[in-house]
Amino acid sequence: MDGHTTLLRLHADDNVLVALGPVGPGEVRVGDTATLMLRGAVTLGHKVAARAIASGETIVKYGMPIGVATADIAQGDHVHVHNIASRYTATHYRSDDAGLSDE
């Protein structure tokens, strides 16, 4: 570990951290003082679990729900399409079902 922040929590309520560049596996810096053991490598912009996340639990990024865990996710694991189902807020798509139709 080189002492530079490599993972960032974007909002206090987030249960994921975002990679500021390619990192892991191994111990990496979170913010100014904390560290986390990454179980594998992740690339720029990808998410890792800040803590253990149970299957069915909401994934929170930017303080907003972005998906639901489809399997248990261990602290330090990559959080991506292989273990979450996307549930972006309605503003990310336009449809009658969301009540945001352009018509």
Domain containing 66: what range?
A: 7-86
* CATH number of the domain that residue 43 is part of: 2.30.130.110
Report yes or no on 94 lying in a domain. no
Report yes or no on 97 lying in a domain. no
pLDDT, mean over the chain: 81
Q: How many domains does the chain have?
A: 1
pLDDT tens-digit series, residues 7-66: 999 999 999 999 999 998 999 999 878 899 998 999 999 999 999 999 999 999 999 888
Report yes or no on 102 lying in a domain. no
- Banded model confidence at residue 80, pLDDT cuts 50, 70, 90: confident
Q: What is the dihedral of CA 80, 83, 89, 93, to 10 degrees?
A: 70
Report yes or no on 92 lying in a domain. no
